[in-house]
Chains A and B, each alone.
Chain A
Amino acid sequence: MTDVAPTAVDHDRSHDPDAPRTGPARLEIKELAVAFGGLRAVDGVSLVVEAGSIVGLIGANGSGKTTLLDAVSGLVPLSGGRLFLDDADLADYIPEERSRLGIVRSFQDCRLYPELTVEDTLMLCEDARRRVGVLSTTLQMPWARRSEREKRKAIDGVIASFGLERFRLHTTAHLSTGTRRVVDLASIVLANPRLLLLDEPTAGIAQREAEAFIPLLRRLHEVTDSTILLVEHDVPLVFELCSNVVVMQTGEVVAAGTPDEVRRDPRALAAYLGASDEALNVSGPLAAASTPAVPRDEASGEAASGEAASGGAPSDEGG
């Protein structure tokens, strides 16, 4: 496996000594199989996610999409096949170590940590990257204090840019689903990913907010300078956003290619998209979605004009 040079927007990260490698990573899946008892949830899937690309994974419920992500992040044991991140065989890494390789995962339920505050949730991402021993924390050694200060500075920036300031001390359990998603995205940015596994980032979010996710995800892709593998039910969003689309059915890949190819692929249509236009138009006409959507604040109902990167502002259930 040869090194793949970063192809996306080139950010200068040479000042960051923590990351052993930077830039988007290339994921290669070879004959991947995952079985739960007799059920073969993923059955011989091979695909390559090129460095810096956004690949969408679509398919009906139970077609093995989430299981595929689980396999890449190491949460389920493989019953066959191999996984490579650039030239590293992922079989050598347990889930905690995979995050050090730059594989970052978001979850469908986006439960996060119910009793941690937003601040602590974000600090946690920094904890994983800058480890400080318990003993030096207990004795409040100078390096432990410095590290804690640096972490706080890093998350202060992210909290400000995501507009999370007023939720800083709220526990996650008290946030709305939409706000939790934003916190989740903020922790993704902090985690400095090279390969980003997103599991239905728009699940549980109002349709209007979901539209705003297209520019948001695009900006996320740019800012984190990563490769994205995205599982999503919102087909127009996938077609709009992704450079490649993979359609899965009962654990197998039935179609793959650029959005245009897949849209014309009869097998893809049969497997998931269906013959009707309804599924294709969940997020509204594609042309409309390509212009930046007007973000809305759910709590105030007041529209706020913003740059292309704006999305639905976080809102609070109890507010």
Chain B
Amino acid sequence: MSLSASPAPSLQRVHHLLGQPADLQGHLDAHGPLNVARGRSSSWQHGLVDSLEESGLTGRGGGAFPTSVKLAVSQTAGHGGIILVNAMEGEPASSKDQLLLTRAPHLVLDGAQYLATLCGSDRVVICVPNGRVAVVAAVRHALQERRAHRYARVREEIAQPPDRFIAGEESALANWIESARSAPVFRPDKGIALRIRKRPALVHNAETLAHVALIARYGAGPFRARGTAEEPGTCLVTLSGAVTHSGVVEVDRGTPLWDIAQRGQPIEPIQALLVGGYGGTWVGPGDFRTPYASIPLRTIGATAGVGVIVALAETSCGLAESARIARYLAGESSGQCGPCAFGLPAIADDLERLACGRSDDGLLARLERRLRHVNGRGACRHPDGAVALVRSALSVFAADVAVHSRGAPCSSWRKPTVFRFPRPIGLGG
């Protein structure tokens, strides 16, 4: 029960998430105790807020929202709230949060503790999907260790919402905690804090919290030493698809996409990369050198999204894979909003027809109109992600679109999918 070990020098100088000790004792040896100052307006608290702002840390759950701004919104909403650790990772192509919880759970939970102190929260709830047995076991073990050592001040619990794509959406998560309904809530003004039974709730992705924990201990310097000036720090990216080594890598923000993909060692010639998850966008070979950061990606019409890169081989059919993703996303709609509930299946139908070579004359115009009508008209960003994915597919695989719409699809549309889905997604025909 050594509580005054000094931090190892190498881990102090370099800010990184993978390669951390998984057990509490190792964590203590590496980083020292969890020193949070008590009292509401201490200089320590101001120092931490300044560090977070200076670090330029943005959310690693897909929203890329500045962490310090989100914190400020929640702080003004009052004390006595909840910190929700979002480890839902509904994105099937992503496994970074699960990995982080099995490899460095204490870092994630420490981050939540730091924010809980700043917000005056009295509870930390770590949300892991129901059914992910290994992750739940790892989290339970870590919570047990912390309780046994009386390590953390604010009470920590685990919750297990349903394992669906949309369950990790911020307002859906808060809604589930409050009323057991895993469905997003219409929030026209994101400047107003989320609330659970009138108390403010601050939701953060697990990886973001791990970064918070390191910034809190070592300051913004080591974080800013990685990445770029506009987008500092590292991030975790899950590689999959036509690569030899699929899995999670830690990269500096701003690393060119192709360099990241190379770390997985692509098996065969790659025709496109899916960046940002199933609600992200395709990127063609002309843009493979684009840095993995929000602004450069936006200039090529792509989104950084969640740290996911899937490599699509030239022997696969981009339209068929996109049709499967569109069908999956349509099935994951919460069904609350008409444009999403009706529009996404309609878009998936059209894309499937195109992929299978059963296109009709009005299909492209109809698809374009539906994409326009569905975008931005839901309570959450789920339909927007689906629209972005389909639009990028039509653009990046434009040559395929021309061929398929003449009724003669490429031979590879029947090739088994390289994408992971929780249930089998078939294409008709």
The answer to whether A and B assemble together is no
Q: List residues of chain A with CB under 8 Å of any chain B CB.
A: none
